[in-house]
A and B are shown apart, each in its own frame.
Chain A
């Protein structure tokens, strides 16, 4: 794909290609038609593919996911947009008890190729319910796949892979990075569930995904000025997690710091810390550290900077890890 695309445009192109390639692909969501979605990710698609395939739904999240399940049973491949992270909870039963379990309950007789796109996480100065990181809920649910891209190339190809998957995929879009631009390659260079080492290093491994990958890359660049070489792993997939890549990295560096916006308590970092301890115990020079949100409701925007992990908090954790 020629030139630099924003993540938003890369996603839009991915939806367009998916609609073009498979007549069974449908988009469903609130304000995704004429408006093109509140973030314009579906911009122009209803005009080109019609109201039957790019469907402005009633304002009912459970209804959107529940009818998407029925459409999947009829042979369609729905891609659902939840307008914001905090509004997915009305659909929680349909996602967790219906969508995720249907394939197992039917002993494999039916497939659930439903993609649920959710703009997630904070940093855009929004009012409440518009900045949440709820990946742990979904990762905790067997039957769902959970992924999040951090750049335009991955946004494009991972979304196409997610839509092509015969399993339900929760596709989390780092909304504060929607306007970040990057090169989008001509083909997917990795599978949907592979992690990517986005910066090599030797002294410690920063593990992040979605919006925090950029923060970690900046932290690594800053640390280099102090002579510290930090490796950055972009998980890309939250369920399943590519532990092989994580393990390989941490065995080399001996130190791991997991960074996410979601609250630290019971967050992905806890799972990663436990697994790294099990797999890399004799290679570790320090306990696995976690940097993330606090056990508090996502704060009002005037103080969100203090809640969100930033370069300084990541470097503070690096200092602590290296001090062991």
Chain B
């Protein structure tokens, strides 16, 4: 079965809730009648690096595109590793590593068009990379110099959201606005397997389906929510939650960048063409700790982590590039050099990131003047000035 071609016109009202699953879902995915059946995992590149076809998600790629995706994966992993070591060195207060989830983020991030908008959690460094957000911007909040601070509208990449699930509603509201503007942009709401239990996520599903909003719910099921396995969140595969809300859900191999790209592209086009939301469950694995403060040896077995190592998103694409002769030695060497450069830039950028002036505390509490904030700022400034030399500390 191939993906049904969709119309341009955005429907005003939500379509009637389908009594069968939308046609895009293969038989294997719509196996509600056999709840114990293993769901099909949409895959275009096996862990061994063999290119396979999927009837619903055809994908053609040029060698250059494949190399470009590989470059993204490598650089994103390098950035992440650099941030982890900067935390170890005391330059960052905390870091939430994306190790293992590079393909889910790069695949979905590269599926977006310029006008599309991403609403991330706190771990979407790979998506930020694809949106061309300066990696140093992401480090500000982990260093403690701001709570984000970048202009979300510059790259259509919203601020990181730490309250899990909350951003799925912002994404849905934004998508409702797109519909009102009769624009053909779409939105991706990122969230995790743990977040799937939050009421806000269910409410976002409801609003998105009722208003037929052009939003793709992209759940990275990395198997863990800190120490809680996915079995603490759900009895059914997460992608099947969508059917109860009346929109399609698919499960994709989250370690396969090609599958993530193809599926997300389809989902975004489905949404932007007036067909409403889609839930994509990217089946992946959090290879590292939840954050640098976490100790996963307390709750999960090394064998499990080891078993996911062979599914690594980067090595499978590398194997493919190599045995198909799509990249030569020079490419890999150049990329290695670029990766070193990125590491250096990030290290230096973080170390030279200045602490803000303490009056930052008062700067942006409100958009318009506020007497109490003005008064407290004046009090603070007078107090700071009362010290010898008028220093702030």
Chain A contact residues, CB within 8 Å of chain B: 52, 57-58, 60, 62-63, 65-76, 90, 93-94, 97-98, 101-112, 142-143, 145, 165-167, 193, 239-243
Contact = CB atoms under 8 A, between A and B. Distances in A.
A74 B174 contact: yes
Nearest to B171: A70
B381 interface: no
Given A70-B172, A94-B166, A110 B370 contact: no
B187 to A, nearest CB: 8
A98 B364 contact: no
B367 A103 contact: yes
Nearest to A23: B180
B363 A107 contact: yes
Contact of B163 (A75, A98, A107): A98
Nearest to A61: B203
A105 B159 CA distance: 8
Interface of B: 12, 146-153, 158-159, 161, 163, 166, 168-178, 180-181, 199-200, 203-204, 206-207, 210, 363-368, 370-373
A70 B372 contact: no
Given A62-B200, A70-B170, 16 more contacts: A66-B172, A67-B172, A70-B173, A70-B175, A71-B174, A73-B170, A98-B166, A103-B364, A104-B365, A107-B149, A107-B363, A110-B153, A142-B365, A167-B368, A241-B372, A242-B371
B366 A143 contact: yes
A193 B148 contact: no
B151 A106 contact: yes
A233 to B, nearest CB: 16
A288 B90 CA distance: 50
B316 to A, nearest CB: 36
Given A62-B203, A142-B365, A107 B169 contact: no
A102 B166 CA distance: 12
Nearest to B208: A67
B366 A103 contact: yes
Chain B CB count within 10 A is highest, among A76, A107, A109, A110, for A107
Contacts of B152: 73, 106, 109-110
B180 A66 contact: no
A167 B366 contact: yes
Contacts of B153: 109-110
Given A67-B207, A241-B372, A109 B172 contact: no
A66 B365 contact: no
Given A62-B203, A106-B151, A74 B368 contact: no
A250 B175 CA distance: 51
A104 B363 CA distance: 8
Contact of B204 (A65, A66, A98, A107): A66
Contacts of A167: 366-368, 370
Nearest to B181: A74
Contacts of B199: 62, 90
A142 B148 CA distance: 18
Nearest to B210: A58
Contacts of B200: 62-63, 66, 93-94
A111 B172 CA distance: 18
Contacts of A101: 147
Contacts of A98: 161, 163, 166, 170
A147 to B, nearest CB: 13
Given A68-B173, A76-B180, A105-B148, A60 B365 contact: no
B169 A94 contact: yes
A110 B152 CA distance: 8
Contact of A66 (B203, B210, B368, B373): B203
23 contacts: A58-B210, A60-B206, A67-B169, A70-B169, A70-B175, A70-B176, A72-B173, A73-B152, A73-B170, A73-B173, A74-B178, A93-B200, A98-B170, A103-B365, A104-B364, A105-B147, A105-B148, A105-B149, A106-B152, A107-B146, A109-B149, A112-B367, A167-B370
A57 B372 CA distance: 35
B367 A166 contact: yes
Given A70-B170, A94-B169, A105-B159, A111 B367 contact: yes
Shortest Cβ-Cβ A-B pairs, 10 listed: A70-B173, A66-B169, A74-B177, A67-B173, A63-B203, A109-B151, A70-B174, A166-B367, A70-B170, A105-B147
A225 B60 CA distance: 90
A85 to B, nearest CB: 20
Contacts of A111: 367
Nearest to B177: A74
A101 B12 CA distance: 32
A69 B169 contact: yes
Nearest to B154: A109
B368 A63 contact: no
A76 B367 contact: no
A19 B207 CA distance: 23
Contacts of A103: 364-367
Contact of B173 (A71, A107, A143): A71
Contacts of B204: 63, 66-67
Contact of A109 (B150, B181, B371): B150
Contacts of A69: 169-170, 173
Nearest to B173: A70
Contacts of A76: 177, 180
A142 B363 CA distance: 12
Contacts of B172: 63, 66-67, 70
Nearest to A242: B371
A141 to B, nearest CB: 10
B372 A239 contact: yes
B163 to A, nearest CB: 5
A102 B173 CA distance: 15
B181 A143 contact: no
A70 B364 contact: no
A108 B363 contact: yes
A167 B171 CA distance: 20
A71 B166 contact: no
Given A52-B180, A101-B147, A108 B170 contact: no
A239 to B, nearest CB: 7
A107 B8 CA distance: 37
A203 to B, nearest CB: 28
Given A58-B210, A63-B207, A241-B372, A71 B177 contact: yes
A109 B157 CA distance: 12
A226 B199 CA distance: 57
Nearest to A73: B174
A78 B289 CA distance: 40
